[in-house]
Structure 1
Amino acid sequence: MALPYSPRRRKQAIASAVLILGLFCLLGHYLLVQQTPLISAHGSLCVETLANLEQQAVSWPGIATHAGPIGSDVIDSVKLLDDFERCVLRNGNLKGQQINAIEAKLFPYLNLETLETNEKNFWPPRIRWNGDLLRGSVPRFASTGDYKYLGAAKSKYNKNLSFWGNWLDLLSKSSSKGIVISVGAGQISDATKLIKVLRYQMNALPIEIIHRGDLSEDQQQLLIQAARSAHSASYPAQELWFVNVSNVLNPRHAEQFATYSNKWLAIIFSSFESPILVDADTIPFISLEKYYDFQQYKEMGLLFFKDRAITSDLLNKEQLNTLKQIALSTIKLGSAAADLNNAIELGIKDNIAAETVMSMLVEGQKHHMESGLVLLDKSLHLVNLLTSVSLQFSSISSYFHGDKEWFWIAYLLRNRPFTFHPKQASNVGKLGRVQSEDGKEFYQICSVQVSHTELDGSLLWINGGLKTCKKNSWTSDYASNKRISSMFNNEEEVRNYYQSPVSLEGAIIPSVDKAPWIYTGECAMFSYCTLYKEGEYGELSKFSEPQREAYEEVVKIWNSDS
């Protein structure tokens, strides 16, 4: 299948091909003649697949080294990871040398050389709040109730099993639930505020802070103090652990796991078999433990939430064509369908998933998932996560923002079932009344926070912190934003406004076909406005007085200095 070449790589690819084609052919012929594949040409049903994996010229990350048609690396990666799950992951009949050759090609970001030569130094240290250290094992917790720490879960490494198979076996011995937060030096303040909210909510789930060696002892102590000080029955101390995952990463690729990409490390290498991954600036308004009871998690072992349905930022024509060709090469659609819409509906049984896929492949939408809170059972979904990592670093990595879309697109391309919580994302904050030209009133909310509500309109969680603006952008905004400069006399007034706590009066889900999300450019370009007019467009959740009081208490705790 022909896929469009990236303009920026076309000249480089042609030039490279001309220069090295002859040498490459000679060298390849020599290697094929001189070397015997590690995997025999006879034997198990997986022999052919494994032999192909071993000899596959896999490059990683694709965005840095891929010189072929954009998207072809994605098709290859999905196929290889499918074969890996089917033939290698839990296959105990292979030889260690065979497995090492395969995993070194598929997962070059892993520090597998250290695993082979010095296993103890490979495993990330897991340090409890009191200084207790685990290495080569994971903490084990009670499965219900107070989730009490029960000691270490250990497993002897089986060299005739893949690394990921060994990892799943170790996690199965913990069989635990817990909260995972990826934290760097820049997220300490938000993380401490989140921990205080969790204590207020009487959280009993253990918490792991995942980092890459970039948290100092002093910064870790700040988090421990937030989790353990002033313990009382109504403000319980938290079971807090720190996990430094730098050892598991190949030094040649470690720095490529930056910003959003660290979240893959957090959810994959967390000690919990069923982790709840939350951003440091995420704020729950119900106990996180309750998310395990959501229908989507019980049925599929996953819980995803929708993002703002932004219609002003779409895939361009080339991106859309590439995604369609990738999808047609990997996913199973209804073959008897009259058009792409019908094919998606026939091939994807979950209505919410089908709507999401149509939104991307037919309408060109690029904002679908909000990854500030994600719940996954890794015993079911590990290879989907590994596929998401490959997509994050593929030739199409720039098509979407950050990590969020790769979660569900991995399921789509691997033909695995997925869904979303049915409620659309909303804008939350102070309800403003605006009068239209025809004299009718409508409600407006302008906010940097994206919110998620239950079917009854009550708040589940918010991403973006609980200040009016989460960025220190008052100087630049006052200088460049006309609306801000017209509302305030000087930048100090803007600063005071930006740093003030949010007021949670209601939430609006806009009707994007009539009154879409309005990008304002304020708060370092993070602010959006939404509109609601009764009987015409939008959906309004106007919080009751008891709800507002409960929500404002969380706002107060999050914004407190103590």
Structure 2
Amino acid sequence: MPIGISLIHELRMRGNRNAIHVYHCLGELSAQSQRLLIDTDPLVLIFDPCTELVAEKNFTVELALDFRNFYLKPLALYHTKLKDTLIIDADCILFDDPTKLWQTEEYKSTGTLFFHDRVITTTSYLNGRHYYYAREESTLQELLRTWPYSDFDTTYNLSAYVLNSVSYNMRSDHEQDSSIVAIDKRRAKKPMEVLWRLITHQRFKTKYSWGDKENFWLAYELSHTPYSFSPHACAATGYVHENETRTVCGEIAQYFPTMDKIPKLLHVNGNALINPYRKTNPINGYSMALNSTRLDELLQHIPKYISPRSIRESTLNIPRDKSIPNECNYVDGAEYVPEDFKSHLQWRIQKTFDIASALDAFRQIYT
């Protein structure tokens, strides 16, 4: 909750004045939490599509419970009546108003703008390995080959993008980072039909995605609808690897998807940089005990380095051995973070802690 509320403040601080729709599933947000969100900004609206779909008998309760996770994001996209949409993770740290993405040539052309994920070269998710008539193929290749195209009045016909992608060519487990997704729903009728099939059926059959992220671009690819990715590779912000001085390791960062001479940082997907609560398990468990030492810890560990803007290419720099963690951009270069990076991180961290402290005091009074 503190991270989400601080994101609302950050959006307004960046000049954004659009409606903000917050989604939850089967009453996940308490009445108190909903009131806090609504009181934060007059343009906040809260939706529970799971409860609606169960009431309409389009979901069983069991199926709805499977959306109390990352998959709520594509369900929110399917549900929303907004036209120009941005799906934004609560732990995004914004360095510009993300609605500027709607003004890019890519978005104007296709009504989409997607961002690339890290390149991770194991054999899972999109890059899982299978055999088809004694020929090895990846999970992505299998999904594209076996998709029921006729159900959507299409045929097997792969785009130039996917044929040249690192994931299709078995060089990475992942293709899309979904921390920010831009979609014009006016041009998304067929992709939304495919998206519904992916998130309500296919994901239970095929393990092709870590969380929700691959479903967005796949909905366009499988429906043969044009789509756009940023030309830039995913960047990293954090520390320089001790044995590889041209390798930055840390949180995902994305540059604004233009070819301007001076690169502009758009956002960092930085839960670990701003979360006031300590992680208690590797997936998504946190201790709700607020500790002032955590604030000092976050302020002291604001990243100093970022990998430079680079073009996403099929020729990749692959680590020589497993000593380079997955969160590293191997030999992509290392630069100091932009001038306003530290001061903005300090602002977001402090804002998040102020909100967490207020919530903690409220709980102590009323429990």
Give yes or no for the alignment of 1:190 onto 2:7: no
Instruction: Summarize the Cα distance change of 1:240–1:316 in structure 2 as closer, same or farther, 3 Å threshold.
Output: closer
Deviation at 1:275, TM superposition (A): 1.3
Counterpart for residue 28 of structure 2? 214
- 1:28-427, aligned counterparts within 5 Å? 188-212=1-25, 213-227=27-41, 238-245=42-49, 246-249=51-54, 250=57, 251-252=59-60, 253-314=63-124, 315-318=127-130, 320=137, 323-328=140-145, 348-349=159-160, 352-356=161-165, 359-363=166-170, 365-392=172-199, 393-394=201-202, 396-427=205-236
Counterpart contact for 2:114–2:228, Cα < 8 Å: yes
CA distance in 2, matches of 1:493, 1:368: 38
Partner of 1:117: none
Q: SS of 1:370's equivalent?
A: strand
**Which residue number corresponds to residue 270 of structure 2?**
464
- The alignment partner of 2:11 has SS state of helix
* Cα contact 1:278–1:374 (8 A) shared by 2: yes
Kindly report the root-mean-square deviation, in angstroms, between the aligned alpha carbons of the 2 structures: 3.6
In 2, the alpha carbon distance for the partners of 1:302 and 1:263 equals 16
TM-score normalised by length of structure 2: 0.73
Q: Distance in 1 between matches of 2:185 and 2:323?
A: 37
**Secondary structure in structure 2 of the residue aligned to 1:360:** coil
Contact 2:2 2:352 in 1 (8 A): no
Per-residue deviation, 1:420: 0.5
* Corresponding residue SS for 1:318: strand
Equivalent residue number for residue 524 of structure 1: none
Report the 3-state secondary structure (helix = DSSP H, G, I; strand = E; otherwise coil) of the residue aligned with 1:194. Answer: helix
Aligned to 2:327: 528
**Structure 2 spans left out of the alignment, 5+ residues:** 132-136, 150-155, 283-290, 356-367
Is the Cα contact below 8 Å between 2:139 and 2:208 reproduced in 1? Answer: no
Q: CA deviation at 1:501?
A: 6.2
Maintained 8 Å contact 2:84/2:183: yes
Which of residues 300, 304, 307 in structure 2 aligns to 1:505?
Answer: 304
CA distance in 2, matches of 1:520, 1:470: 28
**Unpaired stretches in structure 1, ≥5 consecutive residues:** 1-187, 228-237, 333-342, 437-441, 477-491, 522-526, 532-536
1:247: Cα distance to partner?
Answer: 1.6
Distance apart, 1:206 and its partner CA = 1.0
C-alpha distance 262-516 of structure 1, shift in aligned 2 (>3 A): farther
Contact 1:502 1:555 (C-alpha < 8 Å) held by counterparts: no
Structure 1's 329 and 262: CA in aligned 2 closer, same or farther, altered over 3 A?
A: closer
Counterpart residue identity of residue 258, structure 1: R
**Number of residues of Structure 1 aligned to a counterpart in Structure 2:** 316
1:554 positional shift: 4.7
Alignment identity in percent?
Answer: 21
Q: CA deviation at 1:353?
A: 4.5
Query: Is the contact made by 1:474 and 1:498 (CA closer than 8 Å) also made in structure 2?
Result: no
- 2:122, 2:173 within 8 Å by CA — same for their partners in 1? no
Q: 1:277 to 1:501 in 2, by over 3 A?
A: farther
Give the Cα–Cα distance (whole angstroms) in 2 for the partners of residues 414 and 401 of structure 1: 21
User: What displacement does 1:299 show?
Assistant: 0.5
Distance in structure 1 (CA, Å) of the matches to 2:169 and 2:324: 27
- Write the deviation string for residues 54-78 of structure 1: whole angstroms up to 9, x where unpaired: xxxxxxxxxxxxxxxxxxxxxxxxx
SS in 2 for 1:199: helix
AA matched with 2:264: S
Paired amino acid for 1:452: Q
- Structure 1 residues 470 and 310: alpha-carbon distance in aligned structure 2, compared to 1, 3 A threshold: farther
Query: Does the 8 Å CA contact 1:331/1:412 hold for their aligned counterparts?
Result: no
TM-score (norm 1): 0.49
Letter in 2 for 1:445: V
The higher relative CO (CA closer than 8 Å, separation ≥ 6) is in 2
Partner SS, residue 233 of structure 2: coil
Q: Could you tell me how far 1:494 is from its partner in structure 2?
A: 9.5
Tell me the residue number matched to 2:354: 561
Partner Cα distance (1:404, 1:443) in 2: 28
